[in-house]
Structure 1
């Protein structure tokens, strides 16, 4: 490794294709069910459940009508059953419920005897039942169509967001990266925290960052920085040169945001280069320092905190490369302030080092999720207040 900040180029190392294939299947298994193509049966009750439910309600109404000697009055409640089915069932199931209720009402009305005035009332009851049944089928059709439209929109949004942040775990010839990523808005896949892993000719480049703000307003800046990183990581030989396009992407995004009335945002980030050597290159752009876990011990490299991306013009000195030791068999833990700034019910911050010490023996694939779950439990009713990203980076045993 060149101490001037450049990693030595290396020839392409063979990749274990079988491991990549298994990782691909593992990612698919971790994909939320909401964003797979769900079957209609997963969103509606089964046919047998509908039949049993309708038969039970009909029998109950008829029994109560016989006991109270006012069946026509209770039929007024029964005719609203198709409306309930339209909110829960498929169109075909709603048609069945509506047809069944119409049949029951017509049979009961025809079997009843009375004067002309009562026949008028019964005729109105049959017309009302028929109208409510037809309206329920139409309402169900509209609901299903809206659900399908929302499903297509969510699937499209999920595909776009998955291109912003690749599903974990990620494997290169140098490292295996796994972690926990939880946006503060639970119905989103991407928030203001970012990460990426790129295998280049000079080693594996790892990015973790935190966009100022949270939720959807921060996604634009996140996409800009991640896109610039993926391109520059393959082209720039040094980390100092790699940081320049990242900062430029944040500046350009802020210029666009100013034109549209959005807030300007900066991005704190750690950019690392990991290769076959024990020393790891890193540039800290105002981000939280990493933790190195090795032989049941935890160390935190003393890194200078630089200027966040998007604010390079305010810096008095250019970004500099630093080094720390990352030996074979060690795990590197990278986090965002969504973890470190989690507060308990009494307002105290989550003690990351203390809780990490208690879990230092956990495997790298389990540790990030264990920390996230523990932080949620620590917050209690306060809940998650910010996006959270926790990455474990382990020297790949497959090199």
Structure 2
């Protein structure tokens, strides 16, 4: 058994990944050390520090040393796990002024695909990353090169279907993207705007978990939002236990949070907060005498002289759009769109007059919703058209 220890996690803790190869441990980001895990004795030390990516299917280690981009070539070294030596590199030798600056790698050992995160070497507002992917079943062969300059999160692997998910953010917009290996080329097959976070994928259940501060969202492999829960603060995901269906997270104070992903009860809506500022209210009514009020991003319902806050199952974010079904008296259907400045939007549907809500995003390519329009005539059933333009081209989505 080999365990890979990361000596520089987000919060100063060491993370352990167990690999079924031999009785050694590779320690990353500090000068690499090899530890016999049976006796817990140090057996060797690498001369070069850096980020290590072991390959449990071969004798390879991928070492990415820290370096100064554009003054030297920042490359990934390919080493022998037995001798800790090697002369091969991921990229061929190039002029540092034009060479890709590799800063981190992630390996899909089942498909022998290595993902390399690359710094663009530009300071200021134009700074960012791209990534490349390589087939490393033999000498490294590129299957995907470059991409949009963004800030990329971690890679979430789906080895069985030869897919990878990754989040990226640029300026005030964020995205989750899905790539698939098609022949000898890695191809983007889906992009969802208005979603972000650090990702973990659960292949047996086709679930993608994304954590963005105090929000945990669950998508399927087609990037349809299935559910969202509020976390008790801002947390960073550490690892996911697929067998036990548990997600392990930590905060900046090294507190550990364990989330069971098998289900639970919906949280009540967050309590209303009084604002001394003039409210921006919208009033909606139905023929049956139901009234709905959208006030400062919160939704209220009244049938008489008092108002009730709605929102069980809704994330604690501002409601930017609201619509009542034309057939509300029979189908009790409501829709709300959420807004979060380019990140973590969403479309939610209620079929019980607003008592409970569920995500309704299948087919959407952008989760930032600014307007919703119902149609009672285009076809039987409650078609709705969320407009997620937000000063971009005006897309309409039809849903049955």
User: Which TM-score applies when normalising by structure 1?
Assistant: 0.26
Larger Rg: 1
**Greater helix share, structure number:** 1
Higher strand share: 2
How high is the TM-score relative to the length of structure 2?
0.26
